[in-house]
Amino acid sequence: MLKQLTMKALKQWSRTRIPPKSRQLDPDLLRVLDFIQPTISPKDNRHLCGPVMDEEITNAIKSLAHNKAPGPDGLTAEFYQTMWP
């Protein structure tokens, strides 16, 4: 599964970063994938792939630092902390 995900990421990256004439992925690069070992345990992976609880979101929003640059949506931490139910 990790190899397939890595291949998908490499192909996506090559479509956006490599000129069309040279989009063929180097076979040596592909062989490197055989040596990549997972760094997340199966238990941690199940936890990370599980549902996100409302309490986790609330705690994350409460922990955001004030007076920081807004995120990509243009909204500041103060906005979320004030408007979050």
pLDDT of 54: 92
Read out DSSP for 5-22? HHHHHHHHHHHHHS-GGG
35/63 same-domain check: no
**Angstrom distance (rounded) from CA 39 to CA 1:** 13
Position 45 in a domain: no
Model-level pTM?
0.47
Which residue segment(s) compose the domain that 20 sits in? 1-40
Is residue 46, in this structure, part of any structural domain at all? Answer: no
Q: What is the pLDDT of residue 36?
A: 77
Which DSSP symbol is given to 4? H
Q: What is the pLDDT along the chain (85 residues), one digit of tens a residue?
A: 666 777 777 776 666 665 555 556 667 777 777 777 778 888 998 888 999 999 999 999 999 998 888 788 888 999 989 998 8
What residue type is 39 in one-letter code? T
The answer on 36 and 1 residing in a single domain is yes
Q: Say if residue 81 is in the same domain as residue 58.
A: yes
pLDDT at residue 14, rounded to an integer = 63
Say if residue 31 is in the same domain as residue 55.
no
Is the same domain home to 36 and 57? no
